Amino acid sequence: MSVTAIVPAAGSGERMRSRLKKPYISLLGQPILLHTLKILDTVSDISHIIVPVYPGEEDLCQQQVMSRLSLRADIDIIAGGETRQESVRNALSRVADSCELVLIHDGARPLVSRPLIEECTAAAQSKQAATAAVPAKDTITMVSSADQTITKSLLRDSLYIIQTPQVFKKELIVAAHQSALDDGYKGTDDASLVERLGIPVTVIMGSYTNIKITTREDLLFAETLLKNYFFET
Ligand code: C5P
């Protein structure tokens, strides 16, 4: 099976309040993005990894991350876009014709495990589209931005928090991005673009340790997890 991994890492990282952009921030002595790429590279089906980074920072990524890694898979560092969706779309245009599945995994999720990557990939191979997700632990509600009051409480039993990896048949994710572009639809993940085509996306049980590093607290949590847990690779 031929899998290309797209690792969006082109966010501005404003919520980290850091001088360095998020992919290059140190997590136990190594850039966050380096941890993410290392784990993806342990999956033998992934033969090509495309990393959209903040435009103009391709050389920085090369110096800070790639020069410290020796990867089995072929790597392309490319310019990302203004939104995550645009970054992924840029990367999709670089996927080889021979690729069967496209796996999309946030550069900011360095604690993903190899078994989870493999499970999502196997599910996409048989069912076209799969995403990792975990059941919501807290009650989730909609709040009006006008007056900061609750407008709708949602039933927790059917709510999941979407994670990555998300894996799709190549033709499907290309079509989903094209359709979103044509319709001016903006989503915050790729599964939602596939869902709006009416194609079911299989949910695979993710992990509460597969966090997206977004704020400084997440970095502390990730360091604690890395120090104290055994991560199966
Ligand atoms: O913004 P969000 O937290 O959803 O970002 C998830 C991932 O998407 C991060 O790894 C971030 O670097 C990436 N991203 C991107 N291009 C953007 C915005 C976010 O590749 N313009």
**Structure confidence by residue, pLDDT tens digits, 199-219:** 999 999 999 999 999 999 999
pLDDT tens-digit readout, 67-120: 999 999 999 999 999 999 999 999 999 999 999 999 999 999 999 999 999 999
More confident residue, 86 or 156: 86
Task: Tell me the CATH number at 67.
Answer: 3.90.550.10
Ligand 1 atom at minimum distance from 53 CA: 20
Taking the centre of ligand 1 as the mean of its atom positions, its distance from the CA of residue 101, in whole angstroms, is 21
Pocket test for ligand 1, best of 12, 50, 87, 215 (most atoms within 8 A of CB): 87
Domain count, the chain: 1
Question: Is the backbone of residue 55 left (phi > 0), alpha (psi -120 to 50) or beta?
Answer: beta
HEC readout, the chain:
CCEEEECCECCCCHHHCCCCCHHHCEECCEEHHHHHHHHHHCCCCEEEEEEEECCCCHHHHHHHCHHHCCCCCEEEEEECCCCHHHHHHHHHCCCCCCCCEEEECCCCCCCCCHHHHHHHHHHHHHHCEEEEEEECCCCCEEECCCCCCEEEECCHHHCEEEEEEEEEEHHHHHHHHHHHHHHCCCCCCCHHHHHCCCCCCEEEECCCCCCCCCCHHHHHHHHHHHHHCCCCC
- Spatial CB neighbours of 18, under 8 Å, sequence gap ≥ 6: 25, 216
Looking at residue 129, its pLDDT comes to: 98
Looking at residue 231, its pLDDT comes to: 58
Sign of the CA dihedral 183, 189, 194, 200?
negative
The pLDDT of residue 233 is above 60: no
| Mean pLDDT across 128-141 | 96
Looking at residue 12, its pLDDT comes to: 84
- Spatial CB neighbours of 175, under 8 Å, sequence gap ≥ 6: 197
Q: Is 11 near ligand 1, meaning CB less than 6 Å away?
A: yes
pLDDT tens-digit readout, 5-38: 999 999 988 888 888 899 999 999 999 999 999 9
The pLDDT of residue 170 is above 60: yes
Q: Is 101 near ligand 1, meaning CB less than 6 Å away?
A: no
| Mean pLDDT across 38-50 | 98
Domain span at residue 106 reads 3-232
Give the side-chain half-sphere CA count within 13 A for 115: 5
Looking at residue 230, its pLDDT comes to: 62
Q: Which two tokens stand for residue 150?
A: 């609750």
Q: How far apart are CA 173 and CA 177, in angstroms?
A: 6
- Spatial CB neighbours of 210, under 8 Å, sequence gap ≥ 6: 109, 111, 112, 113, 116, 132, 134, 163
Taking the centre of ligand 1 as the mean of its atom positions, its distance from the CA of residue 98, in whole angstroms, is 27
Q: Is 110 near ligand 1, meaning CB less than 6 Å away?
A: no
Q: Is 9 near ligand 1, meaning CB less than 6 Å away?
A: yes
